[in-house]
Every structure is written in structure tokens, then in C-alpha cells.
A and B are shown apart, each in its own frame.
Chain A
Amino acid sequence: MINKIGTNLKDIETPELIIDLDILESNVNTVSKAYKDSHLKMRAHTKNLKSPYLARKQVEAGGSNGGVCTAKVSEAEVMVEGGFDNILIANQVVSDDKIERLCSLAKFADMKVGIDNIDNLNNLSKFAIKHNVVLGVLVEINTSMFRCGVRSSEHAVELAKHAVELEGIDFKGVMSHQSIKGLPTEDERWKVGEGYLEICLESKRAIEEAGIDVEIVSTGETFTFDIALKYPEITEIQGGTYALMDLNYPYMPFDIAVKVFSTIIDIEDDKITIDAGNKCIAAPNNATPLIEGVKSELVEMGLDYSIHKISDNKKYNIGDKVYLLTTHEDGLINRWDKFVGIRKEIVEGSWDILGRGCHH
């Protein structure tokens, strides 16, 4: 069944990935207003949205530098094809095949990539020379995640010094990504956020003290989007979750725009079963989804259904529709091929999630 424009939500088949366009626009406008007259600009992280259409909405709202981030070369290919010409792959690209593809993209767009290793940097240069392109590089600084990223400002300086000497490489600056656990108070959020951003800036300053210009400081994410405003040295924020939001950030000024619309298919005592399960909603062990507006607790997550214990006094019937909210927006979007945009429960459009499955 095709979800035609103008269809009422109650008439569409479930499960379905829904984006409330009013909420999406409100979230995007919150950031664009904050950044409109600021030195700081948004570089939307499209690893979350995976859609050139949604990325375009973020850029057009204002407060953006016009560029986007991706996590993978294949996502960058989707965004270049979608018309973006300023892309930061906020990750390392190490395989020869992928570096070749990165160089191909550099013929169409200003391509930048994260680095944390000198051999990888040399390899990027080798392929850039071979393809007669220039690749921008940003040293990734570990601030809290302990994944990729250099562990010291000395290492950052070493890489920056090497990068400026290499043909085919344009040293651009530094980048970092950080996370915060649980539900921090406002004071805690600021303290933790400032601490992480300072770690990134420490490397930036060390590189400058070594006589190397730093054009870009690309850092942050949803929880530091406002904290970063106080640092004139930070040039851009890699904002991902804020546009569609999930259950992890109830303390931020954004609402949840992305939901899985589903149907109650069974009721037993205080438990309801709905037709949305693991396949269509990411539910890692520490991140369980909730039903919107219902006091509920996940009991079981099957592949194609989920069971929720209800603790309110409302009467539910088989066939009733509910919205499932996720704690993992990234994972949720990646499980769908299309989303349905609605406004006041009426279908306004349906768009392909072109970056879905772009793991490469």
C-alpha cells in the first residue's frame, strides 16, 4: 500500500516510520536561531538522518556552514549525489579501496576526513597524488569516547606537522566527538561539555603554538550545541540527533520527531503486544523503546513484535494504534528504507532513506 499525500495516519498500514515535520522544523529552527548571528555554524551529521532531503532542510533553515558530516565513504557518496559539495567524513578511512573512492569524491566536492595515524595519513597523500586531488584532513582528538582519536596534544601536533608537509593533503584542523551518560543536571551538562571541548581546544592551541594554522575546529554534538557558543575558537558543531531526537536527551530543548507508528495486535492482562519489533526499531540491551503517552515498560523484544507492560488505567483494544519512541535514533533510521512525513496526522510525503545500509 502506498501512503498517498493527504492520507490520514489512521489509514496507513503499520509498522511505519513517521517523521512529524512540525517537530522536525521546530528542532532545526532552535539551532538555526542560536547560530544565525554567531561565529559557530552547524555541520549536520547525516549518519543519523541518512537523507539528503532532511540534510537540505537543516542547511536551508540557516545557521549552517552549508556542509555535512558523514561517518562512511558510502554515506558521503549519497550526499555528494544529493548535491552537497562540502563534506567531512568524521571518521577514519583506511582501506585502499575506500581511499580511492574518497579521492573520486574529491573531484566533485570539498572532501575532508579524520586522521589519527601517520601511516594512514601517508596513504591518503599517496592516493591523493595518484588521483590529482587534495584531501582535507582534521586530526581527531579523543576527549571521552576512547575509540579512534589521538590521546595527547603532542600526538596531534606530530600529525599536524606531518600533514602540512604532505602533497595532496590540506591540513584543516581538529575534530572531536563526545558523549554524556544518563540524565545530567544543567550544571553537570555544562561542566562535562566544557571539559570535553577544552580537551579538543588544547590540541588546537598546541598545533597553533607549533606555527600551524588551524582553520576548522569541528566538534560537539547535540548535547553541547549551546555550550560551544561560548568558545570563539570552535567553528562548527557536528549535530546529529537534535533534528529528529530520541529518548536520550529529555533535558535538551528538542522534541522527538521520529516515531514508529504501530498497531496493538494482542492484549493479555496488563500486557499489550504491538507489531513493531527488533527489525524495525533498534533496541540494544541498555536502550529500550517506550510507547508515547503510555506508562509502559518493555517486557520482550521479538524480531517482529514487542510486548509492553502497561501501568495506566486506560482501556486498550486490539487494532488501536500507538507510537513507539526510541532511545537510539541512529539505529532506528538505519533499519528503514523510507520515512513518511506527517503534519497534524496527515501524510505530507514519503522519502527514501538513501544512506540506509551504507556501512562501507
Chain B
Amino acid sequence: MERPIKKDPGTLYTKLDTPSLILDLDAAIKNLTLISNKLNSLKLKVRWNVNSHLTKDILSLQMKAVLNTKGISVANTSQASIFSSLSDDIIVNNVVLAESKLSSISELNASPTYSSILQLNKIKNVYSGEIYIKIKIDPGFDFNSDIINYLLNENHLIKGIIFDFIKYDKSKSQVVQKFLNNNPSIISITDNFIASGNISISEYEKLDPNFTEIIIDKLPLTDIDCIASNPEINESVKVLTTVLSKPDSDRIILDTGQKAINIDYGFPKVKNIQSAKIISLSAEHTSVGLSEKDQSALNIGDKVELIPSDISSIMNQFNFLSAVKDNKLISTYEISARGAYK
């Protein structure tokens, strides 16, 4: 049975079926240009974290706009398989233990990531390919050299070390140098140091010069957190919803709930209605409190736009993304790795 949910190119975005995940292409391209300009003066190579968008069309935009792209970072083996047609330099930025998955990784020429001796011991007799080591840089972090000492005595092939920042700030600007000072012999294993995690665009040029690569998360897509950390970027993603009910004079009910916009990392925000405040999201509905004046200006069937709190998790709940330019639908991007968890 035909389900005419997708609309033809040229359709005004406000006429799209709701809830719809909307990408403003102009804003996305501007964001990519901004990143490219920032990185041009640096020696850093870029690796796109496709786990934050799961979409081949967006990776293509990223690779086209930023020429010093080196490869991609994926979350698991199935994502590596999906994106292997677009990149042959793939970090599986997570632990992989199952022999069947390690075998797939070898075939794809990708490399998994480990962060503890327990994990490395588990795979040492079943996997001989190259691996990455991940060090989580929490606030107040202190390098534990145990894993480095272990690596110096084992035969694992190390392709690089990923420094994963919970939140990058200037106190971390010498992080690799400090690491090298503590572990000078690491250079005999690898000289590839990769910055990853929550790093705003304005911090790129302040990164430790020993970094060779940066994994860029989310951008050019945006969400509430991303906009807060990067005031210079352009808001590129929103969710189009419809007013389903006006049961009270100070509230509207939208046709979109947690199944489309997950709230695991916070509530979305209502765009362009000053008095609007999200009251709750259930599985299929959002209750929005607002002034009587704003409520009376809205009719059942009118469209309301929401800014998501965390775009990475929301991308995984939609099957496609509507790419819009000048308020009109240009293309529909399949979210190719949605549901690829293994």
C-alpha cells in the first residue's frame, strides 16, 4: 500500500507531512565553510563522526566542503559496512569483542578502538589488525600509564590514540604534550594523536599542536547544545510539527512526541513563539504552554517548529531527512544507518 508521506522536490517545507526532520541546506553549507576556513590554517586532518547523522548524503556534503578530510569515525561494525562505500579510512570508535564483528572489520579494513587492558586481553588472541586506543579526558583527568606500559610489552598494532574530551577548554591545550612527557616511549608505537568529543569550533586553533586529526561531531547539523557551544554557527535543523488540539486557552498539543523527538538528553525548544514553554512530551504528543494571545493566534492544523536538544539521538528515530533550500524541499536524504547497532 502506498504511503504518500514523502513530497516532491519544490514543495514548500511547511507543506511537508509532520513530524518532519528538516535540514536547512544553506545553513549547513555555511557551517561547513566556517569549519573549513578554521581548519585551513591548521595542519589537522578531519575525520567525520557519521554516528551523529547516520546519513550518506550528509557525509558527502562534509567531504565535498572540507578538503582535508581523512576519513570517518563510526560507532560499530554495521555502520562501518554502510559507510565503507564513501571512505576507506574508518575508525570504529567503540569496543569490538565478537569474533564475527572483528572478522567483518578486517574485511572492511577498518580499525576498532579499546580503552582498557581487560578489553585488549580479550581480543589479543583473536584479532591481529590495527587498533586505536581511546583515553577519556574527564574534568580533573590524570593519565594512567598502565595501559601504555601494557602496549609497550604487547604486539598490538596501534594506529593512533584518541583523546576523547567530555568538554574541551584551554586547560587541556597541552594535553598531548603532557601525555608524551609522561610516556616518551609511546612514539615508538604511534605518532597519530586524534582529538575527539565536545570541542567547539572556536577551540580548534587552540588545540595541542601535537594533534594530527580531529573527529568532528554533529556539525553541520545543529541542536540546542551545539548552538550554545558555537554561537557563530547557523541553526540548520528543526522538526516541523502540527497543532493537533487546543483543549485549553493556555496550551496547545502538537502531533509529535518522544517517538520522534527523544528527550533523553533534554526537552526541545519551540522556535519563534516567545511565550511557548514545553510542558511535557509523551510518546506521540507534546504539550506546550503559552500565553492566551499566542494560543489564540494558532489554529488546529498550523505548523510549529521545534529545535531538538540532541540531534544525534533524534536522527536515529527518523527514516529520512528533508533537505530544504529557500524554504523548498530539494531532496530527501535516507538516514542510511538508522537502527544499525551491531
Contact = CB atoms under 8 A, between A and B. Distances in A.
B317 interface: yes
A72 B248 CA distance: 23
Contact of A145 (B97, B244, B258, B282): B282
Given A14-B342, A71-B284, A359-B256, A94 B100 contact: no
A265 B342 contact: no
Given A95-B18, A282-B264, A266 B95 contact: yes
Contact of A116 (B97, B247, B342): B247
Contacts of B122: 318-319
**Secondary structure of the A side of the interface?**
loop
Interface string A258-287: 000001011110000001101110111100
A80 interface: yes
B97 to A, nearest CB: 6
A268 B262 contact: no
A179 to B, nearest CB: 9
Nearest to A304: B75
A119 B245 CA distance: 11
Contacts of A359: 19, 256, 259-260, 284, 317-318
A150 B316 CA distance: 34
B26 to A, nearest CB: 26
A318 B51 contact: no
Interface string B135-162: 0000000000000000000000000000
B283 A318 contact: no
A101 interface: yes
A303 B284 contact: no
**Secondary structure of the B side of the interface?**
loop
A304 B259 contact: no
A280 B341 contact: yes
Contacts of A319: 97, 122
B242 A94 contact: yes
Contacts of B30: none
- Interface range for A: 35 or more
B300 A94 contact: yes
A209 interface: no
A318 B119 contact: yes
B162 to A, nearest CB: 15
A331 interface: yes
Nearest to B282: A147
B246 interface: yes
Contacts of B285: 147-148
A72 B242 CA distance: 13
A120 interface: yes
A15 B75 CA distance: 13
Most buried by A among B76, B244, B253, B287: B244
A52 to B, nearest CB: 12
Contacts of B248: 146, 151
A284 B100 contact: no
B97 A303 contact: no
A319 B119 CA distance: 9
A215 interface: no
Nearest to B103: A1
B317 A335 contact: yes
A117 B300 contact: yes
A280 B282 CA distance: 18
A116 B122 CA distance: 59
Interface in A92-124: 92, 94-98, 101, 116-117, 119-120
Contacts of A81: 1
A94 B245 CA distance: 9
A331 B283 contact: yes
Interface string B230-258: 00000000000011111110010101101
Interface in B250-300: 251, 253, 255-256, 258-260, 262-265, 282-285, 287, 299-300
A13 interface: yes
Nearest to A15: B341
Contacts of A336: 339
Nearest to B335: A357
A142 interface: yes
B263 A148 contact: no
Interface string A12-36: 0111100000000000000000000
Interface in A232-281: 263, 265-268, 275-276, 278-280
26 contacts: A13-B98, A71-B284, A72-B284, A74-B5, A81-B1, A92-B255, A95-B242, A95-B301, A117-B245, A146-B247, A147-B245, A147-B282, A148-B244, A148-B245, A263-B97, A268-B116, A276-B341, A278-B262, A282-B258, A282-B262, A284-B262, A285-B263, A304-B75, A304-B94, A304-B341, A330-B259
Give the 4 A-B CB pairs with smallest separation, nearest first.
A148-B245, A265-B95, A359-B260, A304-B75
